[in-house]
Chains A and B, each alone.
Chain A
């Protein structure tokens, strides 16, 4: 819940450790703020509107001061984060948008923007990405199932990643995040079973599953998951009890030609992972925080799920004509204010449709693609694909590979 602000809860600003060094202080402070979101306070205080607003305005002021383009784009100061115009994600294609030299550059897949006009997210601080992602994925994915007397010993997992290794895909934000997960103490063994050129390594998946004495954490784009199921050719590959799956991309309720409910049914049948243990992650290259629609082991049927961001993200649905704020329940274009984006662009306008709920959750309805109004004029997607065929990678779903 976002309001009211509990008086007893301290503004985390008073408690964050302030580091000094070559990096702007605010980035360290935001990083510390995100790391403290462990359910005991810290980032939790951001659920209070007043506290969130204060941090949002600080980040906004920092970005205006350190990025001349953003300084002119946001020509005025604001007293309310809601009045700060969100920057469309397409702007990430046009220029680096960072408040400082980049430690890493993540690129969008170009599935809609064409391959040479890929969006680029320049990250002055990879630490911020890790801080934004870590607590969230731990709370949704690395939870013990079947808690009992051996709870500690049972919270060990074998990671099978159907995404490229971070080393092989240094510009993929998803690969970077899975790389963080691979380093977690709960991960007893890790297997990278996807290659950008060759696609899914089915034998590696089979071997890893057979050897694992722990539940498997399978991480895949929805497209890769479909590819894996197809590659099984009807022969089940039952994963150990307690296994769970994080799938991402294709969040529109449909994954390629497969309905999400149908996909989860197939996963249950062929991998032995029930719907309750499949978690959808909503993330994008242009945004360092993620939303999840379930905790592993507690997932509802797909059509009843909502995505929830951590407290340092605020999402609004905006009227698609005039970009005015819509009340909860009314679908519109989603805009996210993400404090973790402190070193790039904090307020972004996505091309995603959805609505918010009164308690700050989000129902994703799909990509606002304009597909209903096709004619014989060339669409932007086709135009960019024809103008610019080349490479790919991303946090968005990559083009489906050929199963090996």
Chain B
């Protein structure tokens, strides 16, 4: 059955009379959205700036409550049909979409948003007015108009980014990733419907990033905006960087790799938790676990291999269970191709080692590329996605840190199981290698509202500070 096209935009003051429409295919869905009409950009940005001024009249405490309430209503009104539509748009199962929304709801609420603001601004009033801090007056303000370029197919990422911009009183124009259009447009509508003071400050428009005819649109829009926040892979970041003038502030969140460090002897449930961390978001999230470093013990290689092999067996069993309870979305041919390449290469590496030699790579596979566990050395690791988990046995903490070094600059979340985070300076060493978030493995999929994404302050990176100092004579009378 042919599905109705997705409505890929929401502009302030209702839908304008848009003459030029474009249609973009996204998997089985089509997205209708305005075409690259450059003449509309100045008016749109001007309306958003005006909306930011109205937004600025809301005090922080009231704003966190208001945004929390909008989130609550937005989630409550997502009925079965809406969830199915959002899931189809993201290319995941409705069951997984529900789990993701439930996880997101822990950060999309008033108290969580207040925690976020308070974590970043101990004097939250600095977002409302000048406040006396350490002998000077300071004020933090978001820019008038922020353009958010969302990541491809991770549902909810664009909404989180929008909420952050609104919290610092910046109006937002969001370009959701192709798989996140349905949710983002619904959220923008919910925000506009909930409050007159928010209505003018929220816009969404999908466009095919870097698509033919859109380069000039992007360049003109980024020039007109005050700030661009981009989430995505290297190609996206580089393209946005090339089109953003020096006068527009650019905040980048590039792709990252998630790692787990597991001591199987002290964490009997870790396999199930790793399976969940890898399965949620279908490994498309920057927090998703891709590589597991397994503390398989010292001694002769054979017991280590046996421990690692048994653990992978358990991980494979858990992935198979998750596959039956929440089936993986049908991966596209590109992902399947990569999975077949990874699997075949692993099989050959195993074949290249004499049968009685250790360690030998091992492979556990679900049907039709639905999930894969590869047990092999960490040097060969590369992220694959599509529920593919690479497990590398390591002797001890030192070997684990050594294995992480090449991954360090791209490292995001490190999930721990069976390890005490305070233990023997291990977390210090992980931070030195490049980790920006170290959490129990069960907490990997859903960061707290105040997490330091990519090692930055999520609100702090959006604001501009202003300070007022008294004249020296007023501060300290000269003698």
Contacts and interface: CB of A to CB of B under 8 A. Distances in A.
Nearest to B150: A376
A95 B352 contact: yes
B351 interface: yes
B337 A380 contact: no
Interface string A215-253: 000000000000000000000000000000000000000
A368 interface: yes
Given A353-B333, A372-B27, A372-B332, A377 B255 contact: yes
B152 A373 contact: yes
Contacts of A380: 338, 382-384
B340 A88 contact: yes
A69 B410 CA distance: 33
A333 B352 contact: no
Interface stretch (B102-110, B188-196, B229-237): B229-237
A380 B153 CA distance: 16
Contacts of A371: 334
A72 B351 contact: yes
B433 to A, nearest CB: 14
B283 A377 contact: yes
Interface stretch (A149-157, A165-173, A191-199, A318-326): A318-326
A370 interface: yes
A81 to B, nearest CB: 17
B50 interface: no
B261 interface: no
A378 B284 CA distance: 8
Contacts of A304: none
Interface in B141-178: 151-154, 157, 177-178
B288 A90 contact: no
A377 B385 contact: yes
Contact residues of A: prevailing secondary structure: mixed
A83 to B, nearest CB: 16
B419 interface: no
B88 to A, nearest CB: 14
Contacts of A370: 331-332, 334-335, 337-338, 385
A373 B178 CA distance: 9
Interface stretch (B5-13, B115-123, B313-321, B341-349): B341-349
B256 interface: yes
A376 B232 contact: yes
Interface string B294-334: 00000000000000000000000000000000000011111
Nearest to A324: B368
How big is chain A's contact interface, by range? 35 or more
Given A375-B153, A377-B256, A88 B344 contact: yes
A402 interface: no
B258 interface: yes
B348 A69 contact: yes
Contacts of A88: 340-345
A375 B154 contact: yes
Contact of B348 (A73, A367, A383): A73
B334 A368 contact: yes
A87 B348 contact: yes
A14 B259 CA distance: 59
Contact of B336 (A91, A321, A376, A387): A321
A73 B383 contact: no
A383 B409 CA distance: 10
A375 B152 contact: yes
Contacts of B91: 373
Interface string B390-411: 0000000000000000110110
Contact of A95 (B231, B348, B409): B348
A150 to B, nearest CB: 46
Contacts of B382: 117, 380, 383-384
Residue with the highest number of chain B CB atoms closer than 10 Å, among A85, A376, A384: A376
Contacts of B331: 370, 373
Contacts of B368: 321-322
B410 A375 contact: no
B287 to A, nearest CB: 8
Contacts of B258: 377
A281 to B, nearest CB: 22
A6 to B, nearest CB: 36
A378 B236 CA distance: 12
Given A69-B351, A94-B348, A333 B337 contact: yes
B334 A369 contact: yes
A375 B348 contact: no
B286 A368 contact: no
B51 interface: no
A323 B340 contact: yes
Nearest to B286: A376
Q: Which of A69, A320, A332 has the most CB of B within 10 A?
A: A320
A187 interface: no
B253 interface: yes
A379 B236 CA distance: 12
A19 interface: no
Contact of B345 (A70, A72, A93): A93
Nearest to A74: B351
Interface in A322-377: 322-323, 331-333, 349, 351, 353, 367-377
Interface in A55-95: 68-73, 85-91, 93-95
Contact of B337 (A368, A376, A383): A368
A373 B153 contact: yes
Considering residues B285, B344, B369, which has the most beta carbons from chain A within 10 angstroms of its beta carbon?
Answer: B344
Interface in B254-302: 254-258, 281-286, 288, 290
B380 A94 contact: yes
A385 interface: yes
B348 A374 contact: no
B36 to A, nearest CB: 16
A386 interface: yes
Interface string A10-47: 00000000000000000000000000000000000000
A351 B337 contact: yes
B177 A375 contact: yes
A404 interface: no
Contacts of A73: 347-348, 351
Contacts of B385: 370, 373, 377, 379
B392 to A, nearest CB: 15
Contacts of A91: 344-345, 348-349
B285 A376 contact: yes
Contacts of A323: 340
A167 B290 CA distance: 42
Given A68-B352, A320-B340, 6 more contacts: A94-B352, A320-B333, A375-B179, A375-B285, A376-B152, A376-B256
27 contacts: A69-B348, A69-B352, A86-B344, A90-B341, A320-B340, A323-B340, A367-B334, A372-B153, A372-B334, A373-B153, A373-B284, A373-B331, A373-B332, A374-B232, A374-B284, A375-B151, A375-B281, A375-B285, A376-B233, A377-B385, A378-B233, A378-B255, A378-B257, A378-B383, A380-B338, A382-B235, A387-B406
The 10 A-B pairs at the shortest CB distance, nearest first, are namely A375-B284, A370-B334, A374-B152, A88-B344, A72-B351, A378-B255, A368-B337, A69-B352, A321-B368, A376-B151
